[in-house]
Structure 1
Amino acid sequence: MDVLIHLFVGLHIVGIAALLGGFLTQMKALGKGTARFVPAMLHGALTMLVTGVALVGLNQADHHSVNTIKIGIKLALLIVILGLVYVKRDEETVEKPLFGLVGAATLANIFIAVLWT
């Protein structure tokens, strides 16, 4: 079971890397006012959602304790990210505040995962 959990943790990290990488590639365009949500951001957020749900289930099945408050906050942030990216994915440009919100929520999600023990 531990191997499966570690596999999903790795996939979860790949998802966050795609989301953050997509955000960072658009930073130059953000300065010009032409930033947009790229497909990697949507796919990364979806990957995080699926693997995160799987990780909670696998950890509970293996009788590990799960901090439900932490998971709930991370899920709420991810739903905000996913909602914004999904709704605005076809637009040529995204407003700076919305784009910044996605970046801030992504970084908050990373820091919550790493620092909240």
Structure 2
Amino acid sequence: MDVLINVFVGLHIIGIASLLGGFLTQMKAIGAGTARFIPAMLHGALTMLVTGIILVGLREMDGGTLNHMKIGIKLLVLIVILALVYVKRDDEKVDKGVFGAVGGLTVLNIFIATLWT
């Protein structure tokens, strides 16, 4: 079971890398006002959602203890990210505030995952 959990943790990290990487590649475009949500950001957020749900299920099946408050907050943040990216995915330009919010919420989700013990 540990190998399977570690595989999904790796996939979860790939999802966050795709989301954050998509944000970081648009940094110059943010300054120019031409930033847009690229498909990698949507796919990364969806990957995080699916692998996160699977990880919770695997941990529960393995008999591990989970911090349900932490998982709930991370899920809520991810749902907001997904909603913003999904709704604005076809726009040629995304407002700086919305784009910055997605980047900030992504970083917040990383810090919740790593610092909240």
TM-score (norm 1): 0.99
Q: How many Å apart are 1:94 and its aligned residue? A: 0.3
What amino acid sits opposite 2:61 in the alignment? Answer: A
Q: How many Å apart are 1:76 and its aligned residue? A: 0.3
1:99 aligned partner: 99
Aligned partner of residue 9 in structure 2, secondary structure: helix
Structure 2: segments with no counterpart, 5+ residues = none
Deviations 1:22-73 (A, max 9, x none): 0000010000000000000000000000000000000000000010000000
Q: How many Å apart are 1:4 and its aligned residue? A: 0.3
Write the distance in 2 (CA, Å) between the matches of 1:47 and 1:64.
23
Write the distance in 2 (CA, Å) between the matches of 1:77 and 1:105.
7
2:90 aligned partner: 90
Q: How many Å apart are 1:86 and its aligned residue? A: 0.4
Stretches of 4+ moved more than 2 A in 1? none
Deviations 1:93-117 (A, max 9, x none): 0001100100000000000000011
1:36 aligned partner: 36
Q: How many Å apart are 1:11 and its aligned residue? A: 0.2
- Equivalences for 1:1-117 in 2 at 5 Å? 1-117=1-117
Write the distance in 1 (CA, Å) between the matches of 2:81 and 2:38.
13
What is the aligned-residue identity percentage? 73
Q: How many Å apart are 1:16 and its aligned residue? A: 0.1
TM-score (norm 2): 0.99
What amino acid sits opposite 1:29 in the alignment? Answer: A
